[in-house]
Amino acid sequence: MSYIPHTDVERQQMLAAIGVTTIEDLFESVPSRYRFPKLNLPKGLSELEAWAEVQAFAEANEHAGDYALFRGAGAYHHYIPAAVNHVLLRSEFYTAYTPYQPEVSQGTLQAIYEYQSMLCALTGMDAANASHYDGATSLAEAVTVALEASRRKRNKVVLHPAIHPHYRAVVRTYHQGNGVEFVGDTGKTIERTTADDLIKLIDDQTALVAVQYPNYLGNIEDFSKLVEATHNAGALICFVANPMALALFKSPGELGADIVVGEGQPLGIPLSYGGPYLGFFAVRDEYVRRIAGRIVGETIDHDGKRAFVMTLRPREQDIRREKASSNICTNQGLMALAACVYMSLMGRSGLRRAAEISYQRAHYAAKQINKLKGYKVNVGAAFFNEFPVKCPKPVSAINDFLIERGIIGGYPLEGDYPKLKDHMLVAVTEMNSKDEIDLLVEALAEAAK
Amino acid sequence: MTESLIYEISSPGRTAVTLPDVGVPEVELPKDLLRKDLDLPEVSELQVMRHFVNLSHLNHSIDTGLYPLGSCTMKYNPKVNEDAARLAGFAYLHPLSDEEGSQGALALMYQLQTWLAELSGFTGASIVPAAGAQGELAGILMIRAYHLDRKDHKRTKILVPDSAHGTNPATVSMAGLQAVELPSDKNGDVDLNALRAALDDSVAGMMITVPSTLGVFDTKIRDVIRMVHEAGGLMYMDGANMNALMGVVKPGELGFDVMHYNLHKTFSTPHGGGGPGCGAVGANEKLVDFLPGPIVEMVEETEDENDAPLYGLKMPVKSIGRLKAFQGNFGMHVRAYTYMRIYGGEGLHEVSRHAVLNANYVRAKLRGVYPMPVDRICGHEFVMSGHFEGVEGIHALDISKRLMDFGIHPPTNYFPLIVPEALLIEPTETEDKATLDNFVEVMKKIAQEAKDDPELLRSAPHTTPVKRVDEVRAAKQLMVCCRPIPDYDQQRTPSGD
Amino acid sequence: MSSQTPSELKYARTDEYLRLEGENATIGISDFAQEQLNDIVFVELPEVGAHVAQGEPFGAVESVKAASDLLMPVGGTVTEVNSQLSDEPELLNTSPYDKGWIVKIKVDDPSEANALMDAAAYIEYCKTR
Ligand SMILES: Cc1ncc(COP(=O)(O)O)c(C=O)c1O
């Protein structure tokens, strides 16, 4: 039967060794009334049949393999060199578990150590962990670090409203029982809030100020005054960063961040309908001992050879139990490996080049769309590869038209930002050729008619 | 055997990728906003492949050898699952796709939710949580929200047995509640007297693992559930050990209100060297409206059998909220779906039967060789003590390290905490009898060595890529990044306060 | 048991010792505690000026396999911390009563020390563990 190797003869031998006659005998401690319930589940299939079914599900989707995709909003379609997947498919990596036993896990440990080092380079931070579940939960964990750093004396968190709406929702879910006060991202004018507007919300109760870089609406804001005000108030500042943008723009470390978190998906991880992705988490030295989750350190073995091991373990849940600051155990390890392989392949010049191509093509698209009658793009703003477009019609109508032309259009913003009625958020990467962009522009023009 | 760091084989000017031309009229880059340099390695594609393939050789993995790591269910990860998750229609599907454009994905998720709920006897399930621990957080927040919704504000405590996995008490604190530790009896079952004494109207609920973390089914489980319910609390089941239960018992029918499943244990999605996973949660009538969202619902049923129904994403009416951006670790959903589809209901029951058969077989063979703190029929795993009367200075850790010399991954060490020198052994159903027999022989040999030549164990492992590592040094001379970080601190405004 | 338990000190059940000198006191962890913890790799210290009530945490010590909170044996205000421990946490292992002291405090109410054990009682208490 499928992946169960037992033969009838072996089963009998094993039962005899145990001293029972049937497998059912092994379940007598389960109350008989509840034992062996009927399962209303379908019958099993051969691999061949199951494959056909799964393939039919896959084919029912409209995806970036078949369509020109101009949607981002937190997940980006970048090129993934073929070698990334070949490494991920090494059984020795993906069928191992958390490297609790360093002697037989040096492969995973060293790869994570290299990942941590690359992430530090990218973010300008001193230390990174081996991952959180995604960008959103990384931000939720950053809130915890800041609360702990204030020794739980402060309980206010300022959130920039142009942080991804899902991230702000997740942070609230995580902290609903802790009496944390979240400010900054509510009210009638959040669409217009700038970093400087947040300064007046910072006080001596503020543990953390969080911003996104580039922000959810694509802009690269000037955070210098906000960073200064945050530090003057004795609070920490966290940047939620797009790692691809960091290949081109100043690192958050250079801009004064204390914690940098974000979604590592653009680093060699496919869109995959939202997961598995990679929550990255990096801090300045002062906060390294407050990081939750796994972290790998360099050391030596008994013979003095370089070796790697999970370190700072006592703060984790298996040792600290109810006093641990987070319950995280399983993380997104394989995705950290993907990012590590991706960054190795792209390297110093390649990653920057991919970012530059994305930048140039996005700016070209913005300019072309802004020329269209009825559409408006704020082409004067500083942005990386994503920008809002004001459309002459509801976004859903435009997108219905685009899909007929083989294009998946931008993401509607009105749901999260009511004042941005008829606005779509358009993302462009190195995957979108000039022809594709021209096709989009042409289709948008027609859709307006 | 060690491998250079990728940075150590880097040479300025080398690159592994060629990218296309910009291809559009270029604008000038905003100079003041740009970074000066990016300290990533400069290597060729072949160097990258060799580096990571060589690194992979330093790992033990399921596909290279037995991995009887208790509580983690290191079963075979079928290859068809990997191919399925990589189908273009899944891998290239944007998470914020319009619902009409993602019906295939939604249908698959809907099925998976429905099957998981059915398997455990629950009303509904959410497959958003990324791991078991996140499922736990969901469940405890749901219990909290349930009481608050009924205007019952005094329930602030969650009972957690001392045998529980560390994520359980950590979850309770994260949810802003208080973990109250309950002692277990010598079998690892709940001590009913202690439970009775702990129950009052400040108790929001209890978390418990079934079968217990010692691998045995608590025969008084119905009494425990009844007592907690009578006191007005709700029951959370840690479903990490679900591999013992499929078609054996439905937790929902036993009376549990909410539980998590680890798709990366029971449903064969790979552990990935530490993740990713999926910690789906199932809930009964009382809690289903509080599930984390979004969940997949059928928004339009069809009359014609040949038409597919329409699926959509919805937040449950009283949802505790979002736990992740988007809708979960979809790639794991595809793998678990494929696995369940191949097995079907009867097959999944066979999985549990054989998981329990394998564990009991190894237990029976090692009785009398190693001390067994709980000497009775076990579930899918069992616990032994890695300490022998009259052999001083040999610990579970030494036995574990010696196992590596035989190409076998050690069992879980030092968990559950209530068993001194615990070795928690979970063979899983995918191991054949010959592999188990070999494991038994090796364990017997090591037990003999412990008596004859204890130094052989204490200095083990001998054949691994590295020897025992200096953890004290790692923690004291903390090195978690191999590159110098530019010192931005001078540019940074000093903090007040 | 080979660990030392100086008789002029008072001990808490959570293994902190108190050296009371008028209204000032020095606090550290006992020799028994450092032996149990094994190689100490990190000490988290409070800020000077912090006020901590009796029984409340004022810091933490970590070894490779364990972490434990440090609890105030008597309430008081921190006047000095042993910052040498940040670089040399092993002082807690090598010299718990001397170079490995953790904080000095100004004591709120010296009579709170009456709740602590004397050396003889602490030795007995350690034997039971
Ligand atoms: C009993 C038990 N509960 C909970 C968990 C946590 O699950 P995860 O690692 O997926 O967060 C584990 C896994 O290690 C476990 O063994």
What residues contact residue B455 under an 8 Å CB cut-off, 6+ apart? Answer: none
Residue A9 lies in a domain: no
pLDDT tens-place string over residues B32-84: 999 999 999 999 999 999 999 999 999 999 999 999 999 999 999 999 999 99
Residues A124 and A35: their CA atoms lie apart, in Å, by: 57
CA distance C17 to chain A (A): 23
Residues B337 and B362 grouped into a single domain: no
pLDDT tens-place string over residues B427-437: 999 999 999 99
Domain count within chain B: 2
Q: What is the dihedral of CA A31, A36, A41, A43, to 10 degrees?
A: 170
Residue B271 lies in a domain: yes
Residue B9 lies in a domain: no
> What CATH number is given to the structural domain containing A259?
3.40.640.10
pLDDT range class, residue B493, cuts 50, 70, 90: very low
Residue B157 lies in a domain: yes
Length of chain C: 129
* B240 CB within 6 A, ligand 1: yes
Residues A371 and A81: their CA atoms lie apart, in Å, by: 35
pLDDT range class, residue C76, cuts 50, 70, 90: very high
Section A354-361 average pLDDT:
98
Query: Does the pLDDT value for residue C129 go beyond 90?
Result: no
Residue A311 lies in a domain: yes
Residues B96 and B165 grouped into a single domain: yes
Instruction: Read off the DSSP letter of residue B257.
Output: S
Residues B309 and B389 grouped into a single domain: no
Residues A282 and A407 grouped into a single domain: no
Residues A305 and A265 grouped into a single domain: yes
* B167 CB within 6 A, ligand 1: yes
pLDDT tens-place string over residues A294-318: 999 999 999 999 999 999 887 888 8
Q: Do residues A131 and A108 touch, judged by C-beta distance below 8 A?
A: no
Residues of A in contact with B42 (CB under 8 A): 347-349
Residues B397 and B330 grouped into a single domain: no
Q: Domain containing A212: what range?
A: 82-343
Residues B388 and B431 grouped into a single domain: yes
The reported pLDDT for the residue numbered C1 is: 46
Strands A259-263 and A279-283: antiparallel
How many whole angstroms from B433 Cα to the centroid of ligand 1?
Answer: 27
Section A196-202 average pLDDT:
97
Residue B494 lies in a domain: no
Question: Which of the listed residues A294, A318, A343 is the one where a domain comes to its end?
Answer: A343
CA distance A314 to chain C (A): 5
> What CATH number is given to the structural domain containing B105?
3.40.640.10
The reported pLDDT for the residue numbered B488 is: 67
Residues A205 and A264 grouped into a single domain: yes
Residues A263 and A131 grouped into a single domain: yes
Question: Which of the listed residues A343, A375, A401 is the one where a domain comes to its end?
Answer: A343
Section B305-314 average pLDDT:
89
Cα distance from N-terminal residue to C-terminal residue, chain C: 11
Question: From its phi and psi, is residue B255 left (phi > 0), alpha (psi between -120 and 50) or beta?
Answer: left
B481 interface with C at CB cutoff 8 Å: no
Residues A309 and A324 grouped into a single domain: yes
Residues B339 and B448 grouped into a single domain: no
* B209 CB within 6 A, ligand 1: yes
How many whole angstroms from B134 Cα to the centroid of ligand 1?
Answer: 10
Q: Which residue has the tokens 């392949």?
A: A345
Interface contact A313-C64, CB threshold 8 A: yes
Question: Which of the listed residues B343, B376, B395 is the one where a domain comes to its end?
Answer: B343
pLDDT tens-place string over residues A81-134: 999 999 999 999 999 999 999 999 999 999 999 999 999 999 999 999 999 999
Strands C57-63 and C67-71: antiparallel
pLDDT tens-place string over residues B172-194: 999 999 999 999 988 889 999 99
How many whole angstroms from A409 Cα to the centroid of ligand 1?
Answer: 40
Query: Does the pLDDT value for residue B380 go beyond 90?
Result: yes
What residues contact residue B150 under an 8 Å CB cut-off, 6+ apart? Answer: none
Residue A179 lies in a domain: yes
The reported pLDDT for the residue numbered A385 is: 98
> What CATH number is given to the structural domain containing A401?
3.90.1150.10
Residues A366 and A412 grouped into a single domain: yes
Residues B382 and B301 grouped into a single domain: no
E-strand stretches of chain C = 10-11, 16-21, 24-29, 40-44, 51-52, 57-63, 67-71, 76-81, 103-107
Q: Do residues B226 and B192 touch, judged by C-beta distance below 8 A?
A: no
CA distance B114 to chain A (A): 9
φ/ψ (deg, to 5) at A227: -60, -45
Residues A328 and A412 grouped into a single domain: no
Tokens of C56: 């409340």
Query: Does the pLDDT value for residue A280 go beyond 70?
Result: yes
Q: Which of B166, B348, B430 sits opposite A318 (nearest CB)?
A: B166
Interface contact B137-A3, CB threshold 8 A: no
Going by alpha carbons, the residue nearest to atom 14 of ligand 1 is B72
Residues B376 and B336 grouped into a single domain: no
* B77 CB within 6 A, ligand 1: no
Question: Which of the listed residues A343, A375, A398 is the one where a domain comes to its end?
Answer: A343
C66 interface with A at CB cutoff 8 Å: yes
Tokens of B109: 């998720």
Q: In terms of Cα–Cα distance, which of B313, B257, B288, B138 is closest to A173? A: B138
Question: From its phi and psi, is residue A18 left (phi > 0), alpha (psi between -120 and 50) or beta?
Answer: alpha
Residue A321 lies in a domain: yes
**Claim: this prediction has a pTM higher than 0.90:** yes
* B132 CB within 6 A, ligand 1: yes
The one-letter amino acid at B68: P
* B280 CB within 6 A, ligand 1: no
> What CATH number is given to the structural domain containing B384?
3.90.1150.10
Query: Does the pLDDT value for residue B494 go beyond 50?
Result: no
Task: Judge residue A153's burial from the number of C-beta atoms within 10 Å of its C-beta, 0-12 exposed, 13-18 middle, 19 or more buried.
Answer: exposed
Residues of B in contact with A37 (CB under 8 A): 121, 247, 249-250, 253
Residues of B in contact with A56 (CB under 8 A): 104
Residue B495 lies in a domain: no
Residue A282 lies in a domain: yes
How many whole angstroms from A151 Cα to the centroid of ligand 1?
Answer: 28
Domain count within chain A: 2
Section A12-30 average pLDDT:
97
User: Which chain B residue's Cα is nearest to C41?
Assistant: B476
Section B368-395 average pLDDT:
92
Interface contact A3-B468, CB threshold 8 A: no
The reported pLDDT for the residue numbered B308 is: 83
pLDDT tens-place string over residues A32-44: 999 999 999 999 9
**More reliable by pLDDT, B302 or A405:** A405
Section A415-443 average pLDDT:
98
Q: Which domains does chain C have, with CATH numbers?
A: 2-110 (2.40.50.100)
- Quote the percentage of chain B above a pLDDT of 90: 90
Residues A179 and A317 grouped into a single domain: yes
Residues of C in contact with B472 (CB under 8 A): 39, 41, 64
How many whole angstroms from B468 Cα to the centroid of ligand 1?
Answer: 26
CA distance B198 to chain A (A): 18
Residues B335 and B361 grouped into a single domain: no
Residues A375 and A265 grouped into a single domain: no
Section B481-490 average pLDDT:
72
Residue A388 lies in a domain: yes
Query: Does the pLDDT value for residue A417 go beyond 70?
Result: yes
- Quote the percentage of chain C above a pLDDT of 70: 99
How many whole angstroms from A36 Cα to the centroid of ligand 1?
Answer: 25
pLDDT range class, residue B491, cuts 50, 70, 90: very low
Residue B285 lies in a domain: yes
* B238 CB within 6 A, ligand 1: yes
Question: Which of the listed residues B309, B343, B377 is the one where a domain comes to its end?
Answer: B343
Query: Does the pLDDT value for residue A1 go beyond 70?
Result: no
* B279 CB within 6 A, ligand 1: yes
Residues B314 and B273 grouped into a single domain: yes
Atom from ligand 1 closest to the CA of residue B265: 10
Residue A178 lies in a domain: yes
Task: Judge residue A131's burial from the number of C-beta atoms within 10 Å of its C-beta, 0-12 exposed, 13-18 middle, 19 or more buried.
Answer: buried
Residues B403 and B463 grouped into a single domain: yes
Residue A34 lies in a domain: no
pLDDT tens-place string over residues B223-248: 999 999 999 999 999 999 999 999 99
Query: Does the pLDDT value for residue C89 go beyond 80?
Result: yes
Residues A167 and A294 grouped into a single domain: yes
Residues B127 and B292: their CA atoms lie apart, in Å, by: 9
Q: Domain containing B224: what range?
A: 80-343
pLDDT range class, residue B495, cuts 50, 70, 90: very low
Residues A122 and A229 grouped into a single domain: yes
Residues A98 and A74 grouped into a single domain: no
The reported pLDDT for the residue numbered C67 is: 85
The reported pLDDT for the residue numbered B487 is: 67
Residues B270 and B143 grouped into a single domain: yes
pLDDT tens-place string over residues A235-277: 999 999 999 999 999 999 999 999 999 999 999 999 999 999 9
Size of interface B-C (CB pairs under 8 A): 12
Tell me what the pLDDT averaged over chain A comes to. 97
pLDDT range class, residue C71, cuts 50, 70, 90: very high
Atom from ligand 1 closest to the CA of residue B277: 10
